[in-house]
Structure 1
């Protein structure tokens, strides 16, 4: 299970999502507790990147250890070291590989063994033939045994309804001590799934009290441009901070929000004035880079930019209309000069895009008559 343990590696500028789990690696007679990184492209980092097939070879050789001998030395690097005494491992090589296969499916958004099992169960419940039950049972048993209790996401019932349903009346589950399934237990399992289906249908139809979680409009990207003068129909180019839309801040007129930002960033008033009249945004940025920065600017810059964007769109209703046409789209801002303001192929923080979304929401609030809270 991935949960919140997400990571990535970058290959040729492409972000490969991944996750990690703990594992023991046996090196030089010592078992090292380490992190095993698993990536969506099927590569696994166990002190080196390997394919799944190569990883299985490392399991067979004992390099990745699932057997922990009594008396063996272990280390968690600089955290601790110890000696195993009556150790018990919850994993076998086959079980670990099965869990990793599931993880790779999850990272790719594909149904894992649990997803395939629940799909087979739905098929059986819709058409309760013995053939469909057998398919559901096989799919259930294909779930790694360590993960079956989590299949329903119900830690009160765990996998009891599943194993009873796929076994059927008179059948036996994978737990020998349970014995043959009684009809009343089977009926309870069927009722469980019927209630589960009703609950799922109600949940799917339920509208979140605070609205949708994700945007309904496709994301837009504001590509890096070098505008020299305003145009009649700028489109999304008008949303760039360096687009030549003059704004008044205090008693000063700046050629663009970017000019204002760079002017306000410097400590020297004379340099500030020169930046305010710079011919281009690039010239403004160059002058600001060469000058001494105002004390505390790093911590204030996001608030300053938010205020400048509010000024821009309040003073230019035509550009505000363009921003509003983006609805609730994610705004991806490209900035070749800054990984703070730009998204930059997923390597930046995209603060310019995020602030545009904030100002857009404020404009929408004003239009809806719920501003000024």
Structure 2
């Protein structure tokens, strides 16, 4: 189960969702670490590997499921100890099956539990021995460590499921006992009631649309030099693209010039920044000037106003921004992990503000007042 353990990694400007779980790595001694699992099927176990390579690491014992009595272990900069009468719940096969299920879950695909329950539904709709066998095979395909949770019923666990797929005269997996007709009838009744609960349960559809973008993410790479063009493409969304903006009667060559000029209260420095030959020169001049009081707390609001001015004063550039639909905008900024994403290290504030301005433009098109 993924639960709230959600993370991601960046790959070619795209956020790849993932999760993590505890595991032991055997590198001489045993090390307690986090095993990161990603939706694209890659697994990080002290190195990013494919699922097939991960299986090899399990078979070799690099990712350890057997913990020998007396072996030394440690948690990095946390503690060190020796195993004493250790018990492990996993085998390489079980852990691999759980990781495969996790990848299915991250992709929104049916995992082994859901596939089993679909086979159970097929059996209940047409109670042939062939379909019972398929349901039983589906049950056995669920990792043993997860079978108790298949029905999400913490009182009866998976007992109704075991009794149903075994059938009268068959045997339960745990505890090892024969299924009586009474046990089987009780299991059938359980699933019939369960079907009613599911049918009556209200659907959880977001009232105002999807939580995640429909369009693929767009990476706005940093590049030089930027020049005006009749067809600038996504580069027009960069702050240093030469799109002059008027702010309180002063015209700045681009958002970058305006941002650095407004960052200082020194009139001479501001004039020099505005008249600099290049955006890089404007930034260097600003670096030598004194920042305005409270600038660090106000800079995000200033940037929002500047971006708003750029796209309202340049309708063709607004069309380029609107054409990105609802895509996540990933903005690179060589000099700032605050403004840029920078390979997943930064906060991507410019990308986020561009998405805000885009939404405002869409609202204006739709006649929605904000």
TM-score when scaled to structure 2?
0.76
Taking a change above 3 Å as real, the CA distance of residues 146 and 300 of structure 1, as seen in their structure-2 partners, is same
Number of the residue aligned with 1:95:
94
Number of the residue aligned with 1:261:
259
Contact 1:257 1:308 in 2 (8 A): yes
Number of the residue aligned with 1:21:
21
Q: 1:19-168 to 2 correspondence within 5 Å?
A: 19-24=19-24, 32-38=31-37, 41=41, 43=43, 45=45, 51-58=54-61, 64=64, 66-67=66-67, 69=69, 75-76=74-75, 78-81=77-80, 87-106=86-105, 111-155=110-154, 158-168=157-167
Taking a change above 3 Å as real, the CA distance of residues 288 and 159 of structure 1, as seen in their structure-2 partners, is farther
Contact 1:26 1:65 in 2 (8 A): no
For residue 137 of structure 1, report the CA deviation from its aligned partner.
0.7
User: Quick one: distance in 2 between partners of 1:316 and 1:44?
Assistant: 45
Q: 1:1-373 to 2 correspondence within 5 Å?
A: 1-6=1-6, 19-24=19-24, 32-38=31-37, 41=41, 43=43, 45=45, 51-58=54-61, 64=64, 66-67=66-67, 69=69, 75-76=74-75, 78-81=77-80, 87-106=86-105, 111-155=110-154, 158-176=157-175, 179-181=178-180, 182=182, 183-195=184-196, 198=199, 203=203, 207-222=205-220, 224=222, 226-229=225-228, 231=230, 236-266=234-264, 268-289=266-287, 291-294=289-292, 296-317=294-315, 319-335=317-333, 338-343=336-341, 346=344, 348-366=346-364, 371-372=369-370
For residue 305 of structure 1, report the CA deviation from its aligned partner.
0.6
Structure 1 range deviating more: 306-315 or 81-90: 81-90
CA shift digits 1:129-150 (9 cap, x unpaired):
2112212211211211111123
User: Quick one: distance in 2 between partners of 1:224 and 1:26?
Assistant: 41
Show structure 1 runs of 5+ residues with no match. none
For residue 175 of structure 1, report the CA deviation from its aligned partner.
1.9
Taking a change above 3 Å as real, the CA distance of residues 256 and 46 of structure 1, as seen in their structure-2 partners, is closer
User: Quick one: distance in 2 between partners of 1:13 and 1:362?
Assistant: 24
For residue 96 of structure 1, report the CA deviation from its aligned partner.
3.3
Q: Equivalent residue of 1:35, what SS?
A: strand
Contact 1:95 1:144 in 2 (8 A): yes
User: Quick one: distance in 1 between partners of 2:153 and 2:261?
Assistant: 58
For residue 260 of structure 1, report the CA deviation from its aligned partner.
0.4
User: Quick one: distance in 2 between partners of 1:209 and 1:108?
Assistant: 23
For residue 290 of structure 1, report the CA deviation from its aligned partner.
5.2
Structure 1 range deviating more: 295-304 or 10-19: 10-19
Contact 2:226 2:240 in 1 (8 A): yes
Structure 1 range deviating more: 241-250 or 82-91: 82-91
Taking a change above 3 Å as real, the CA distance of residues 43 and 217 of structure 1, as seen in their structure-2 partners, is closer
For residue 68 of structure 1, report the CA deviation from its aligned partner.
5.5
Contact 1:102 1:112 in 2 (8 A): yes
Taking a change above 3 Å as real, the CA distance of residues 48 and 311 of structure 1, as seen in their structure-2 partners, is closer
Higher relative contact order (CA 8 A, sep 6+): 2
Q: Equivalent residue of 1:176, what SS?
A: coil
Contact 2:65 2:88 in 1 (8 A): no
Q: Equivalent residue of 1:173, what SS?
A: coil
